[in-house]
């Protein structure tokens, strides 16, 4: 193969890699709506801090709406130029404080949390929604899932008691129509507790779907539902 052919081949390979990389930044297969139980977040060896507005309600709060690929990987920080702009979500702030509360220390309003989620995950969904739509859709999806009601209607309550993992899964599936992913963490006594629920959402960011892939679970057959 002559020098000219090598040059053309190398150029084509470079272009192919560039196109693949660019697409990887913009395309995704589905979202995870990740909802966290505040009792489990706070009941660990690390400390938690209530937001400046005060202790959040004892209900599932939003962690994020995360674009994902079917192979289990995910894009992140897709557009450094698309900075979080709180003026874009002024009409949503009161709802965000209630249902997307920060529990990180030191205590704060929540803007740092929302900024992180937008810049890491939201910027990878700009092909289908802008910043306002990203947060508004997340709020709507969380309200539609209504996880605490789904669980309490099945007799599963945040009372520090232990419940069967499969009964938790079935209670949520019966309510939303799709199988959720369930994530646990451990309290200071090393008890496994219900921490986060993963619900899959289509690429429009508006409809629940069956998960193409579920996150790896590290939950035992019985787990604690912590008080908050």
According to DSSP, the β-strands at 222-224 and 30-36 are unpaired
What residues are labeled active site? 63, 117, 121
């Amino acid at each position: 193969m002559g020098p000219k052919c090598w040059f053309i081949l190398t150029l084509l390979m470079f272009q192919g890699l560039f196109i693949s990389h660019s697409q990887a930044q913009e395309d995704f297969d589905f979202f995870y709506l990740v909802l966290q139980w505040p009792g489990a977040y706070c009941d660990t060896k690390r400390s938690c801090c209530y937001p400046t507005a005060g202790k959040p309600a004892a209900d599932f709060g939003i962690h994020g709406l995360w674009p994902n690929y079917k192979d289990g990987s995910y894009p992140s920080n897709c557009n450094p130029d698309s900075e979080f702009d709180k003026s874009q979500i002024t009409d949503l702030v009161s709802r965000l404080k209630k249902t997307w509360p920060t529990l990180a220390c030191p205590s704060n309003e929540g803007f740092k949390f929302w900024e992180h989620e937008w810049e890491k995950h939201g910027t990878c969904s700009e092909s289908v929604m802008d910043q306002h739509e990203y947060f508004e859709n997340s709020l709507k999806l969380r309200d539609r899932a209504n996880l605490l009601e789904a669980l309490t209607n099945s007799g599963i309550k945040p009372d520090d008691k232990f419940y069967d993992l499969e009964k938790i899964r079935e209670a949520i599936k019966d309510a939303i129509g799709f199988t959720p992913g369930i994530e646990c963490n451990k309290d200071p006594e090393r008890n496994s507790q219900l921490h986060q629920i993963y619900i899959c959402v289509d690429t429009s960011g508006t409809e629940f779907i069956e998960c193409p892939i579920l996150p790896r679970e590290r939950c035992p057959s019985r787990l604690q539902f912590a008080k908050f």
